[in-house]
Structure 1
Amino acid sequence: MKHKYLLLAALAILSLPAVADVRIGVINMERVMRDSEPAKKAAIKLEKEFKKRSQELDKGREQAQALQEDLQKNGATMPDSVRAAKSKELSDMSRDLQRKQREYNEDLNTRRNEELQSFVERTNSVIRAMAEKENFDLMIMQEIIYASPRIDITDKVIKALSEPAPAK
């Protein structure tokens, strides 16, 4: 629905007879989010922040796998009490791993959303400042099928995001 309104606004501006010097900027947000320095730094920050927990989950999965393989391989020759204890241990371990994985996913998603929100706010601020400074009449950052290199300012936005944020 948003696309329709943007397209209609662009067409309306372009159809006005006295607007031969209308400046339109198109931003490929997918590229900005993938290639800009702040986006890359945020991804590295999140990876570092969650690396230890990810490794702990991997270690827990390996231990559960080893216990399961031991039960499958040697379960038939184990005394019933040992097999039952190991089965209970595996069940408890699996339940604990599932809980930890859920918590990890929730925490990671929360942090990812926080970083994304901060990035979007900064990107919008940079785009607004660029639009005002360079006298753009319309900035579009929706999914675009094609934009002429003449109006595609994605590289400028990526470059501007690499510069230090102005002090507030």
Structure 2
Amino acid sequence: MKLYHSSKWISLGLVALVSLISLPQAFAQEVGTKVAVVNSEKVFNESNLAKAMQTRLQNEFTKRQNDLRDSAQKIKSAAEKLDRDAAVMSEADRIRRQRELADQDRELQRKQREFTEDLNQRTFEERAKIAEKANQVLKQIAEQRKIDVIVQEAAYVSPKSDITDDVIKALNNSK
């Protein structure tokens, strides 16, 4: 008799659990919650703001990138020359040149790290500006279309729920 009594409670518990799990889904369907999805990477890559960002960053960093490339080529050429001339150089001259090349290489690596850090920082800053404007556009679209939730990067998106192209158009038309 006791066993029957506990299995009854387990059954009631399972029914209650299933009800609680399905409640949010049923509520969303009943109320008519509208959900849309946006692909933020597409916005960051295809909007006019993103293209302008790429141009600004390219203009800002191209000279430094070319200087680093030139420095690397000079060090490589100097290392090749040292390899060719090492047999006819004195031991002291060879060791001195090797140290100079090692110092130059360390300096180049330091400059390359700084370049990468600066580029990453500027890219982050520019993307933050785009994200701020995109969020304003998303809010406007949500209010206009009475969308309750906008999700980024969903695993699956029905084309009717994807508002990415609309966001890009709105960003391109905004000033």
The TM-score, its normalising length taken from structure 1, stands at 0.82
Q: Distance in 2 between matches of 1:109 and 1:91?
A: 27
Q: 1:19 Cα shift?
A: 2.6
Per mean C-alpha deviation after superposition, the further-off stretch among 61-70 and 75-84 is: 75-84
Supply the AA of the counterpart residue of 2:109.
Q
Supply the AA of the counterpart residue of 2:31.
V
Rg (Cα) greater in structure: 2
1:149 to 153, 156, 159: 159
Supply the AA of the counterpart residue of 1:131.
A
Structure 1: unaligned runs, 5 residues or longer: 1-10
Number of matched residues? Answer: 153
Q: Distance in 2 between matches of 1:102 and 1:87?
A: 22
2:171 is equivalent to residue 161 of structure 1: yes
Q: Distance in 2 between matches of 1:79 and 1:119?
A: 59
1:88 to 81, 96, 99: 99
Identity, in percent, stands at 37
Supply the AA of the counterpart residue of 1:132.
E
2:79 to 63, 68, 72: 68
Query: Which structure dedicates a bigger proportion of its chain to helix?
Result: 2
Q: Distance in 1 between matches of 2:122 and 2:62?
A: 13
Per-residue Cα deviation, 1:109-131 (whole angstroms, up to 9, x for no partner): 11111111111111111101111
Q: Distance in 2 between matches of 1:148 and 1:17?
A: 17
Tell me the residue number matched to 2:24. Answer: 12
Structure 2: unaligned runs, 5 residues or longer: 1-22
| Contact 1:13–1:19 under 8 Å retained in 2 | no
| Contact 1:26–1:153 under 8 Å retained in 2 | yes
2:66 is equivalent to residue 55 of structure 1: yes
